[in-house]
Each structure stands twice: as structure tokens, then as C-alpha cells.
Structure 1
Amino acid sequence: MPSLLSFVLLLSVTLMALLASPAFSTSRGTLERPQVKTRFRVNLKYVDSGKNLTKFQRIQRGIKRGNHRLQRLWGMALDSNDVVQAPVHAGNGEFLMKLAIGTPPGTYSAVLDTGSDLIWTQCKPCTDCYDQPTPIFDPKSSSSFSKLSCSNDLCKSLPQPTCKNDCEYLYTYGDYSSTQGILAQETFTFGDVSVPHIGFGCGQDNEGDGFSQGAGIVGFGRGPLSLVSQLNEPQFSYCLTSIDDNSKTSTLFMGPKESFNITKTESIKTTPLIQNPSQPSFYYLSLEGITVGDARLPINPSTFELQEDGTGGVIIDSGTTITYLEQSGFDLVKKEFTSRINLPVDDSGATGLDVCFRLPADSKDVEVPKLVFHFKDADLELPGENYMIGDSTMGVLCLAMGASSGMSIFGNIQQQNMLVTYDIGKETASFTPTQCDNL
């Protein structure tokens, strides 16, 4: 299979109160839903921000992470009908978000993941924990920490809960990383907004190196364990800055965008979200076709369709860097770009991308064909920087897309400098061209 690129966007999250051990908390049978303000904005940053890397070095690191993530996401879909095998979860994302946990609040960074649900952080006492940038959360230090009982609805929502004295969980990921601990509730603080009684996983046995950039994961999927579901806010948005300058700040908005004085409606494109009963956490879109230049590609209509057995389809994912298209669709895109760009093909594989061209030494501007994704009710034409990546030092120009098998993913490079709004109440996703670092 051709090399694939995925750019893991990690959200800088101040995580503080996740799970604790049985010795120092009162068990709660019913999770109390927040009755406070739950609308907030937080800054996001790329997982590799602040590192002395060239653009293509960041991309190559993203490719490696992306290959793992693609395998995880595809594995989740394949395993969804297998009641024997333990489910595999998506895991890492590309952005970090800051948040705080507990009372008094302690600040953490955690991975934002729109491909999974569970919120978790590493907790003391730690049987096996990886190195993280901040101190490990200690439930003993928080007056608002309590464990959740086995009768709690969130415990029942775990894929494979184990109940002895406490509600225990085990999440495994496609790169063989895992987190294991107990389910608890805590006060989480996002910016200047504190929300009590958030259910999360207190991980006391965490293995693998897939999460070392942060202190855990904040799931933004559609399932009951996710932050989106627990806050009961049907709408959230993010605006991701360009990969060219990862010093600029991306932003996450929880709640209607109008609450943040974002009222821009021109050029907005809105398409339905599709539900997959076999994989209910993912955000699926209906991709009906692709245009390159002035040619609508002869892609079979079934190529991107969600199948009755839960396989196939197209998901939108903030945690995957490039877009992956099912092999037969990608082959047509590759063929069209190769025929339309008047440059020699670079097949060295040095960049990790499958479609690259050699740039002349004196090249400044290269004309590239337009690219349109025809989602249902939304023809989304992308700006050139959202799908072509050039590097004059390496002398290459590459298409930021790759091939996949069975599932397609609309990645975050294609979403950069767009306000992407998920409206779960209306079952829609919207795209509005936006200079994200100006929000």
C-alpha cells in the first residue's frame, strides 16, 4: 500500500481530575449532569509545535502516526461486529488542548480525539505509567474526586467493563498502547469555565509510547462517554491553522458558534452527518464524487458509501493529517493530478507521500488543478495549500493525500483555515473559510 500521511494534532488540554483508587473516594451510583455553563473556547496546538522541524519533517512524523491511526480506525470498523475480540480504539490525535482537573485545579495537556469517546488521564497510584510533561494526577489531592459505581450509566457504556469493588475499564489501541484503571468523576476546567461531575478514566496501568506528548486523551466522539455527550452541548467547532506555521494558535469552541460572536455565513457549506450503528462514535460524511481541474472523476458511486455491515464510508477526523481515499478512488485522483501537473514525477519516496513532483531550482509559482470534494449538498472547493505541499529545499511538490482500504478519512490538512462545525442536533457538518489565527 502507498505510504500514507497522517498529522497527529494534539490539543493542549489542562487535565486534572480523572480517576482515583478505591482507598480515598466515595462511590457514586448516578452521575450528576452539569447544571452550569458548559460553553467555552480553548486553544489547540499541534503535537509537534515548538519543535525545530521543517515542514516536511513534521509531515513525515505525521505520516508515521497516521499509518498507525488509519490501522486503528479501520480495525475498529472491522471489529465492530466481533463480540469476542476486545475492541480497538483510535487513540492519538493531532492536537493538544489545555485543561485543568480537580479541586484545587491542576493543569494538564491532553490529546483531542474526534475518533474516540473515553476521557482519561494517568493517575496515582501508578502501576505502570509513561513519562508525561506534567505531574501525574493524584486523586488524593482533590476534594471533588469520586469513583463511579458499577451501576452508573457511564460504566455500563464501557465496551467491556469489569466490576469488582469499582468500575474498571481497559482501552487498547492499534499500536499496542493501552490504558487500564477505574472510572471516576471530577471537576474539569476549560479556560475560565469549570464543569463538575465529568466522568473519566483514571489510568493506573498505561503502556506504550503513543501518548507521551500529553497526559491522556479527551474523547470528542459521538458516544455517551465523550466530552461532547457528557456536556450535552449539541454543537462544537474548531478552526485549525495552517501546517506551514505551527506557532499560530488553533481554537476549539464548545457550544453554538454564535455564542462566540462568530456569525460569518458567506461561503458556508453544509452536509449531513451519517450515523453508523456498527461504529457510532465516528462522524461520517456522504462523499458523492471528486473533481480535479474541470474533470469530475469517473469514481464508482459505491466507492465511498457506508456498507450495511458497517465497513466503508468516509469519516471526518481532526486527528488524521492527510486525507485517505479508498484505493480505487485514490488511483483516479493520482492519475488525474499526474496528467495535469506539468512537472516530472518524483517517485523516490523520500517524503512519505505517494504523489510528488520535482520542482525546478528556479521555480516560484506552480499552477495546480483545482480540487473539489462533492459531499452531499456541499461542493467543497479547497484552496491549493490545503492539498498541495511544496518544499523548495527538497525540491518537491506533493499531494497531501494517500490510499486506504475499506475506509476513507477527510484529514485535517484539508480542513485548515476553515471553521468546521459539528451540529449533532441537526446532524450536519459545516465548513466556512476562515483565517483561523484571527479568531
Structure 2
Amino acid sequence: MTMSPSYSTTSSSSDTRPTRLFSGEAEYLMELAVGTPPIPFIALADTGSDLTWTQCQPCKLCFAQDTPIYDPTMSSTFSPATCASDTCLGLPVWSTNCSATGATSPCRYSYGHGDGAYSAGLGIGKFSYCLTDFFDTNISSPFLFGSLAKLSATCGAAVQSTPLIQNLERPARYFVSLEGISLGDTLLPIPNGTFDLRADGSGGMFIDSGTTFTILAEPGFGVVVEHVAGVLGQPATAVNGSSLCIRPCFPAPAGARKLPEMPDMVFHFAGGADMRLRRENYMSFDEEVLAFCLNIVGTKPTWISVLGNFQEQNIQMLYDITVGQLSFVATDCSML
């Protein structure tokens, strides 16, 4: 399932019933259906992509899947999109055959992950989700669309809000302005502008529920690692044996499995919105290397930073596209 920002007051046709997400293989998955009669398929809930993908017949080089592959010839509601359709017009001109054919011609296109092109996505004004424990595959996470999308059961916690920023070079991404990071009561000495979105579309930070660990541009990442190491009293080592990715890790004392006491990490966003991450939202014990690992990775100074799903655990997230705003609040998502 992919969702892209259009920043309009488009009404929603998805105001039906709550959807549930399930944790699996470092991602959060959901069951959707396509066609009439409906054919179910499993999709990755990914706010960092702009199209909904599934295999369909005729299919070349198909991979195995548990559900039937969608056959459009067996669906009573399928019809080919023409070059004049909104669906086709939402694709980049270079990706279709329409410049050389008429408006009534079938829309034939080539489109790949990472194109970063504009798409109307689900055409929804709002959506919200609350990701449950990353390591618990037995608990589902609520995902709400349209008029159902809201922040509920906040238990008195203060709701935080920050603007969603449009990046004209990457309009299918939900960008936010990260202004600083604290560890406990200490505001980390990250140079001003490290996470700023630049005029050429580089830099900045977007939210990606399909990315596992948060990615921070240097030198911000290095400062975070240095201060986490200071709390733990030992230098970080890059671990190559981890099943998830290369992360800064800290060897655990013999027999230790429980995370050590760690202060909250706080991401400071524009508008005074503070996202407070408990130790479970940025650290974990890695059984393969017997180490406590920081579940944040680094990237080049000019590259984009990403807020990943591990850091979003037990935080309700509400995207209001109609006003261009992200709101969030700490919550026990298993209770929703």
C-alpha cells in the first residue's frame, strides 16, 4: 500500500472500515483486494512510495505468492486506461507512449520504484496509523483512512504537530523539517542546517513507513553515535553480521540481554513538535552478534534523511493532507 501527498481537499472514497497492519521481516504488511470479485494480496504499507503494486496476469518472471495472482480478464470492473484518463495523465510524460498516440489509445507506460514522480495515490485527505511492537508479529496495528483517520486514546499525552513540506523534486514524499536532536536533557551539537531541505531538492527528511531504521545525514549521525557511546561508556563498532543491516553496536556484557538504562532521544521538528523516542525506539539487542545496537544508520551530508518505522513504534501518526500537517502522540498501539 502506497500513499503520496497531493495537498488538496480531495474527498475520500476509502471511508469504510479500519485496516490492520502486521509486522513481518522488518516491515509492516496489510491485506488488500483488487478487482470484482475481489482477489486478496499482501502489500507493504509504505509512505515513501507513490504507487500501489501487485502482480497480475499475464505475468513474466512472477515470484511465488500465497494468494492468487490477479487476472484482469476475470474482473468485471477492469477496463484499460486511455491516454486521456486521469490515471495516465498522472504519470510522467516520458514514461508513457501517449506523446506519439491519440488520446483514446491505451496508456502503455514504464514505471519503477524510486522514480519519485507525482501520483494522486489513494486520493485521500487524511490517514493515520499506530505501529505496534516491531518484534511482535502476533499484534496488529490500526490503519485508518479518510474520515476514520484520527488520533485516539491519547491518555492525556500532548499531541504534537509539524508542517508537511512539499519537495517539488520529490513530490511523492512526506517531508518534515528536523531542526535538532536531544539525548536526555542534552541538545546535541549538530551543526545548524544539517537536515535542511535545499533548493535543489537534496537534503531534508521524509517519513517512510517502508524503511526499517531511521537514516540521518552526516555530520548529524556521527554526533548521535558519539553521544550514545558516551552514555554506554564504550565506543561503537560497525557490525557486519547483523541480519538487519550495518549499524553501530556495543558489545553486551556476558549474559546480558536486557537493554541498559538509556535516556529518551528526542527529534525536534518545526513548530515546536518533539518526537520522544524511548530506548526501545532506537536501541535493540542483536542475538547474532550479542550486542546492543543503535537502530539508526548514517548517510552522506547532502543526502536525504529518513524517519523509519522502528522509530515510529507506539506513536500514533496522523497525516492531514488537506492542511499539510503531521500530528503525532505517544500511545500503546496494542490497545487500539
Please report the TM-score for the alignment, with normalisation by the length of structure 2.
0.85
Runs ≥4 residues deviating over 3 A: 33-37, 221-225, 256-259, 343-349, 362-365, 391-394
1:125 to 58, 76, 83: 58
Shift of 1:34: 8.6
Alignment-derived partner of residue 206 in structure 2: 315
1:166 to 106, 123, 131: 106
How has the CA–CA distance of structure 1 residues 271 and 35 changed in structure 2, closer, same or farther, with 3 Å as cutoff? Answer: closer
Alignment of 1:20-419 (within 5 A): 38-48=15-25, 62=26, 94-159=27-92, 160-163=95-98, 165-173=105-113, 223-227=118-122, 229=123, 233-257=124-148, 262=152, 264=154, 266-343=157-234, 345-351=236-242, 352-363=245-256, 364=258, 366-376=260-270, 377-391=272-286, 394-405=289-300, 406-419=303-316
1:297-317 CA deviation, whole Å, 9 max, x = no partner?
Answer: 121221100000111100011
For residues 404 and 346 of structure 1, the distance between their equivalents in structure 2, rounded to whole angstroms, comes to: 17
Report the residue type matching 1:142 in the other structure.
S
For residues 125 and 419 of structure 1, the distance between their equivalents in structure 2, rounded to whole angstroms, comes to: 40
SS in 1 for 2:227: helix
Gaps of at least 5 residues in structure 2 are 3-9
SS in 1 for 2:67: coil
For residues 252 and 299 of structure 1, the distance between their equivalents in structure 2, rounded to whole angstroms, comes to: 34
SS in 2 for 1:167: coil
Report the residue type matching 1:324 in the other structure.
I
Report the residue type matching 2:112 in the other structure.
T
Native 8 Å contact 2:259 2:292 kept in 1: no
For residues 28 and 253 of structure 2, the distance between their equivalents in structure 1, rounded to whole angstroms, comes to: 34
Native 8 Å contact 1:222 1:283 kept in 2: no
How has the CA–CA distance of structure 1 residues 256 and 343 changed in structure 2, closer, same or farther, with 3 Å as cutoff? Answer: farther
Gaps of at least 5 residues in structure 1 are 1-10, 13-32, 49-61, 63-93, 179-220
Report the residue type matching 1:383 in the other structure.
R
RMSD between superposed Cα atoms in Å: 2.6
Alignment-derived partner of residue 24 in structure 1: none
Native 8 Å contact 2:14 2:146 kept in 1: no
Report the residue type matching 1:226 in the other structure.
G
